[in-house]
Amino acid sequence: MAEHSEEASSKPESLMEKIAEKLHGDDSSSSSDSDNEKSEPSASSVKAKIYRLFGREKPVHKVLGGGKPADVFLWRNKKISAGVLGGATAVWVLFELLEYHLLTLVGHCLILSLAILFLWSNASTFINKTPPHIPEVSIPEDVAVNVALSVRYEINRAFAVLRDIASGRDLKKFLAVIAGLWVLSILGSCCNFLTLFYILFVTLHTVPALYERYEDKVDSFAEKAMAEIKKQYVVFDAKVLSKIPRGPLKDKKQ
């Protein structure tokens, strides 16, 4: 009887111990969850404080539009990127170094392709082979209309920006545009349009890939450079820009 009473008394004690352990375990897990929740905002705040070039908030791949064009620019598929860059280099060498003219090249290519197709179509009856299948190519009307509308919208927006700059309301934008046009005129005097286009094409295929690889170093250097530029601009604004008379501003209501 005494042994039975001891076993009965030990069972409630063991149950109480298990309940206490579960409660302590829940408390420790809840405390760890709360610690994790506290640490997560700190990590996100640290990420938010990181300076990105041009105020960028998205990855470089998304900034370039995503998809296959961004993969080509960032060399995600090295064979395709190398092929595109090699083709552009071949075109530049053909027209710039060898001085081959565009109309001459188009004419020779059309003569060669039409001659091959014509001979193949007539010789197919003698060599017992099927004639070549020449597909019908036509531009859809909706595609042409969408392209025309997008071009019209961009041209009108460019005219609006030029009008706003010429009105003398934003001196900072005016100086930036003048500096950009001045640099463009210097580049135009040094090289022709094809060479300039090729330089821009090579830059677009190299600079984004290098920036994505050394992103942190470039952003830290750009942050220091922007801070120094802002200091110099404040001094220049106080000494020069603030003394230049500006055009009349419109009322806020208008």
The string of pLDDT tens digits covering residues 14-39 is 555 555 555 455 444 444 444 444 44
Q: Is 110 exposed, middle or buried (0-12, 13-18, 19+ CB in 10 A)?
A: exposed
Lowest mean pLDDT among 42-46, 126-130, 213-217: 42-46
Other C-beta atoms lying within 10 Å of the C-beta of residue 73:
21
Return phi, psi of residue 110, to 5°. -65, -40
The string of pLDDT tens digits covering residues 175-192 is 888 998 898 888 888 888
pTM for this entry:
0.55
Token pair belonging to 71 = 């993969």
Token pair belonging to 25 = 């375990």
